[in-house]
Structure 1
Amino acid sequence: MESDNKNQTFEDLQVWQEAKELTKIVYDSFSDNNDFGFKNQIEKAAISVMNNIAEGLERESQDELKRFLYIAKGSCGEVRSMVILAKELDYISKDRVSEIQDQSVKVSKMLSQFIKKL
């Protein structure tokens, strides 16, 4: 998969690009939200996904890469958990909930595949 090219940068990785898309969706979905604690936490969780992929790849060690990919995967779960709460608090529309959940699951599955290839 993506780990075969030793000269590949994190920006080249499809999983990082999809994680960046997740972050953009989260930021857009909560831009008008006034619950700043909630907003800050879900944005941090989304950013954590893409940044842990980047940090892991930059470490240039497979063990460290794997560790950071697992952290990124955990952050995907945090995003989904918070979106469930956002739905129950009527912070975002059902369509946005589905969009964030679908993108988060997509990234999580891609991370699982990447980890298995290491």
Structure 2
Amino acid sequence: MSWQKSRSLNKRIYEITSKEKFKMDFELTRQLRRASISITSNIAEGFERNTDKEFIYFLYVAKESSAEIRSQLYLALDLEYITIHEHKELFSEVSEITKLISGLIKYLEKNQKS
């Protein structure tokens, strides 16, 4: 579920950063896109690992990327690249993904101890 929602977020990030005003800021566009892709990529890579310990590590990296996106969304808002409505929607999506990843980490860590 977290990977699927992250995939949807990737598309939204690409759409938002393709807007005329936003796409002129190459660095912020590049950073947002990379962080977004990092979430799906790390979930997928971790899932393919042989141990829960490795999967958990990659989930933490994905979670860190979601924090990076939340921070960058504030900058995009401050620079008026996105509207307050777009910010709230995207921030909510990223926060939901973070919660899903956190829940999966807790589940895997609990199972490791059992």
**Pairwise CA distance, 1:60:** 2.2
After superposition, residues 47-86 of structure 1 pair within 5 angstroms as 47-86=37-76
TM-score by length of 2: 0.89
Q: Does 1:43 align with 2:46?
A: no
Unaligned runs of 5+ in 2: 109-114
How far is the alpha carbon of 1:21 from its aligned partner? 1.0
Q: Which has the higher helix share?
A: 2
User: Residue 28 of structure 1 is aligned with which of 15, 21, 36?
Assistant: 15
- Runs of 4+ aligned residues of structure 1 deviating over 3 Å after TM superposition are none
1:29-52, CA deviations, whole angstroms, 9 ceiling, x for partnerless residues? 111221111100010000001110
- Equivalent of 1:102 in 71, 92, 99: 92
Paired with 2:54 and 2:60, the residues of 1 have a C-alpha distance of: 10
TM-score normalised according to structure 1 size: 0.86
Over aligned residues, Cα RMSD in angstroms?
0.7
Ranges in structure 1 where 5+ consecutive residues have no aligned partner: 1-13
